[in-house]
Amino acid sequence: MAELNPSACRLDATGRSEQANRYRRLSASVTAMQRRDDALDVSFADAVDVSLLREAVDVERACCPFFDLRLDDHARTLHVAVAGPNDRPSLDALAAAIRAEGDPNG
């Protein structure tokens, strides 16, 4: 599984492993994923574990301030954006972590 860049992320090795596990568990609920230059949009099935999704988003907000994360609980969508090219590798790693199991679009 792809791991977020340790130099860009504030999580320690244990925290990164726990977050990767959250994404592994969430990946089975991914129904669509669209990656653009500076953004990633992920849609989840109605049956997604919303509390787990919220926890993963909260962890990302705390550890990776360069991500602009917008979770819509009702629509079961997550929009993640970065400010520019320097942060795109972290967005790529996040996309890879989320789709590692289900790989709905990529």
As a whole number of Å, the CA-based R_g of the chain is: 12
Q: Which of 39, 105, 48 is nearest to 76 (CA)?
A: 48
Contacts of 28 (CB under 8 A, 6+ apart): 101, 102
What integer is the mean pLDDT of 81-94?
A: 90
CB atoms within 10 A of CB 26: 24
pLDDT at 99: 83
Could you tell me which residues come within 8 angstroms of residue 95 by beta carbon, excluding any fewer than 6 positions away?
Answer: 33, 35, 40, 106
Tell me what percent of the residues of the chain surpass a pLDDT of 70. Answer: 86
Q: Which two tokens stand for residue 38?
A: 């500076």
Average pLDDT estimate for 95-100: 84
pLDDT digits (tens, 9 = 90+) for 31-66: 999 999 999 999 999 999 999 999 999 999 998 888
Are the beta carbons of 28 and 103 closer than 8 angstroms?
A: no
Q: pTM for this one?
A: 0.84
